Amino acid sequence: MDVSRLLDELNDKQRDAVAASASDMLILAGAGSGKTRVLVHRISWLMEVEGIAPYGILAVTFTNKAAKEMRGRIEQLQGCSLNTMWIGTFHGIAHRLLRTHYAEVNLPENFTILDSDDQYRMLRRVIKSMNLDEKHWPPKQVQWYINGNKDEGLRPQHIETYGDANQQKMREIYQVYQQTCDRAGLVDFAELLLRAHELWANNPQVLAHYQKRFRAILVDEFQDTNNIQYAWLRMLAAPNNNMIIVGDDDQSIYGWRGANVENIQHFLRDFPTAKTVRLEQNYRSTGNILKAANAVIDNNQGRLGKELWTEDSQGELISLYAGFNELDEARFNISRIKEWRDTGNALTDCAILYRNNAQSRVLEEALLQESIPYRIYGGLRFFERQEIRDALAYLRLINQSIDDAAFERIVNTPTRGLGDKTLSQVRELARDAELSMWEASQRMIQEKRLNGRAANALSAFIKLINQLSDDMADMSLEKQSDHVIKHSGLFAMYQAEKGEKAQARIENLEELVTACKQFVVPEEADNMTPLSAFLAHASLEAGDTQADSHQDAVQMMTIHSAKGLEFPLVFLVGVEEGMFPSQMSNEEPGKIEEERRLCYVGMTRAMQKLYITYAENRRLYGQEKYHTPSRFIKEIPNECIEEVRLRTTITRPVQTRFTPPTGHTSFEATGFQLGERVAHPKFAEGTVLNYEGSGEHARVQINFDEFGTKWLVMSFAKLTKV
Ligand code: ATP
Ligand code: MG
């Protein structure tokens, strides 16, 4: 048997881990040190050398994509397919178990999974059925509470409420919700894990079977397991099997979702004979990228501590670009992506990583404008997101009352007590009398065909739309969108929710107002109102299918979803105080450190070249805010990073499709030319690179010889010619 191919291309420490004799093991190592690679080789080793059948192996990864990749890599090493091996996420594996053992956990054979949106809708119904007011019991908050308790393994009867009336009510909602789910055979995501745990806890013979079956249990990205997942794993351990846990405390980024990095210590406590392996050589990134990432993470306290080194050359410096605003930042990034493509590189090798989903919008538009295909990984494109579609539906209905799809979408969003029955009556009349839903509603009210409550609710809706429409008559597009978001109840509805997802929805709605502000009616649409032109633009963009998986496309994703992945070229964007670290992270202890780990994850995705960019001004909810560069940038050693100074030969002013026509200033009228040398009282001499805006808003970008690139407001800058 030739197993050398399993050990070739591994360093000594990796080899030790792959070929170790049977024992529990913790592989603790930094980014790009080959942890995932070791897992893959270890699994092959166990099969070939230890003679463990694929059936006896359980491998847990963080995402389905990672699971698929891992299976592919093992099959490649083995040269055959391995269907009987269990590789999946915790949720996937729990699901598989429950399908087999539904009876032992009191589920019907064909139970259904509730995804998070289904769960949310279900909770709204439950809250309503209990005659509770959603305002006081926001469904999102309840959802957060229920899932949080399930993640801790708690059923309602286990929750201590200390006599607090609110807590008791929450617990009661949890209970009613759970009863409803149980009656209907519904299982939410957190329930999958909890039931799988109960399967072990209440059925010793089932547990014993799997303890015997799984001789090797391997877990990647262990730092982001939560308590119920760890408890489940721990029960699976037995004298005849081994656990191999792979993780990096510096990459724990899901604390906000209940992940518990202390599980690493718990593992060492619970498996005292476990061997610890540390990998220190990084194979992914150049010297500069690695040094910079190490320096950043070094600012966190209480790390388990590890240093990474690489044999690779220093490579290129990290490039830092200060955009004047988010448009300029996007324009810069896209220009670099074009350069990359035009010099014969693949777009798929390039990733744009951002902190929040809403940040994708400006980048998406800039990519579309340049016809560069892109793919958003693990999320929807901006105009396809639920809250954006809600807001657009209001605008569409106001713009054109016959838009039935828009009508259907918002007639009861936010809820206004319109039941399915009323709506089907409206639909029926619309169909029979060939009316739009809007007209049909009005007729039903006039002809008093509805009962009092339904009639009231429907007239309130009609009144709201009419009112919004009147209010908006003389407003700019930006104001119109702002007005609709605020006065339709959408903003309040999402604001009342809790958690990161709700926060992201609010940010997206704010971003929609910015999109309206920046929208310029294209020439071919100059006979349309700005609102109609914008709606057309939005549907076209949403209708554009995403680049299919075979097409060469730029990869866009949040840093969270980039975990475990690597790309030759990476753009880390929006690296400003208030964005990254996020505003909220200042308020909670420990949050800044989690943000810093996120920054470490982002930086260490880059193999050859890393760009870090930020915008000095960013429009958030229609307001322009000045931002300072992120503290994380300051933590990068000077020798690893260079500020990009655009070549002085640039003659194109910052004029993108998004900037409203500026009245075409005459920058020349100020007496300076692009490329000209100027002097500033504080920053001394420099070269004019760029300008934007006009009149008192005119701003100019100067590359100062000593201080680097800065944007200055012309009317304050006191520039003189040299
Ligand atoms: P992360 O913490 O980001 O998940 P990781 O520790 O899991 O990273 P891998 O993804 O396994 O790291 O490896 C990073 C890169 O280095 C991969 O491209 C992998 O193929 C390569 N690599 C790992 N070990 C070696 C080695 N001994 N020789 C050559 N390349 C290696
Ligand atoms: Mg990995």
Ligand 1, pocket-test mutation among 252, 284, 294, most atoms within 8 A of CB: 284
The CA distance from 64 to 99, in Å, is 18
The CA distance from 527 to 435, in Å, is 28
The CA distance from 46 to 151, in Å, is 32
Residue pLDDT, tens place only, 342-400: 999 999 999 999 999 889 989 998 998 888 999 888 667 788 788 998 999 999 899 88
Q: Residue 75: exposed, middle, or buried by beta-carbon count in 10 A (0-12, 13-18, 19+)? A: middle
Determine if ligand 1 sits within 6 Å of the CB of residue 602: no
Closest CA to 256 of 702, 607, 585: 585
33 marked among binding-site residues? yes
Work out which ligand 1 atom sits closest to the CA atom of 40. 11
Quickly tell me which residue has 């605020």 as its tokens: 486
Q: How far is the CA of 89 from the centre of ligand 2 (A)?
A: 14
Report how far Cα 653 is from the mean position of its chain's Cα atoms. 33
C-beta of residue 428 within 8 angstroms of C-beta of residue 421: no
Determine if ligand 1 sits within 6 Å of the CB of residue 247: no
Can you list the positions of beta strands (E) in 142-262? 186-188, 216-219, 242-247
What tokens appear for 583 in the block? 């505003």
Closest ligand to C-alpha of residue 568 is 1
Determine if ligand 1 sits within 6 Å of the CB of residue 151: no
31 marked among binding-site residues? yes
Q: How far is the CA of 256 from the centre of ligand 1 (A)?
A: 27
Determine if ligand 1 sits within 6 Å of the CB of residue 70: no
Closest CA to 270 of 218, 231, 219, 229: 231
Closest ligand to C-alpha of residue 34 is 1
Determine if ligand 1 sits within 6 Å of the CB of residue 32: yes
Please tell me the residue having the least CA distance from ligand 1 atom 30.
283
29 marked among binding-site residues? yes
Determine if ligand 1 sits within 6 Å of the CB of residue 456: no
258 marked among binding-site residues? no
Determine if ligand 1 sits within 6 Å of the CB of residue 14: yes
Closest ligand to C-alpha of residue 33 is 1
C-beta of residue 98 within 8 angstroms of C-beta of residue 194: no
Q: How far is the CA of 440 from the centre of ligand 1 (A)?
A: 62
Determine if ligand 1 sits within 6 Å of the CB of residue 31: yes
Active site residue 251: yes
Please tell me the residue having the least CA distance from ligand 1 atom 31.
283
Quickly tell me which residue has 């639909």 as its tokens: 427
36 marked among binding-site residues? yes
Determine if ligand 1 sits within 6 Å of the CB of residue 33: yes
Active site residue 605: yes
Determine if ligand 1 sits within 6 Å of the CB of residue 35: yes
Q: How far is the CA of 563 from the centre of ligand 2 (A)?
A: 8
Closest ligand to C-alpha of residue 600 is 1
Catalytic: which of 35, 124, 336, 375? Answer: 35
Catalytic: which of 36, 143, 310, 348? Answer: 36
Closest ligand to C-alpha of residue 32 is 1
Which residues of the chain have a pLDDT value below 70? Answer: 1, 117-118, 378-379, 524, 539-550, 621-622, 646-671, 674-675, 693-697
Determine if ligand 1 sits within 6 Å of the CB of residue 248: yes
Closest CA to 279 of 308, 249, 312: 308
Quickly tell me which residue has 């713009």 as its tokens: 399
Ligand 1, pocket-test mutation among 10, 18, 26, 37, most atoms within 8 A of CB: 37
Q: How far is the CA of 308 from the centre of ligand 1 (A)?
A: 12
Give the SS3 label for residue 338: helix
Q: How far is the CA of 92 from the centre of ligand 1 (A)?
A: 25
Active site residue 221: yes
Determine if ligand 1 sits within 6 Å of the CB of residue 564: yes
Active site residue 220: yes
Omega of the bond prior to 660 within 30 degrees of 0, cis?
A: no
Active site residue 655: no
* DSSP count for the chain of H helices, then E strands: 27, 21
Q: What are phi and psi of 484, to 5 degrees?
A: -65, -45
pLDDT at 621: 63
Q: How far is the CA of 285 from the centre of ligand 1 (A)?
A: 10
Please tell me the residue having the least CA distance from ligand 1 atom 19.
34
pLDDT at 661: 33
Work out which ligand 1 atom sits closest to the CA atom of 248. 2
Catalytic: which of 24, 188, 191, 220? Answer: 220
Dump the DSSP string for 158-175: G---TT-HHHHHHHHHHH
Q: Tell me, what's the ipTM? A: 0.99
Catalytic: which of 221, 250, 365, 390? Answer: 221
590 marked among binding-site residues? no
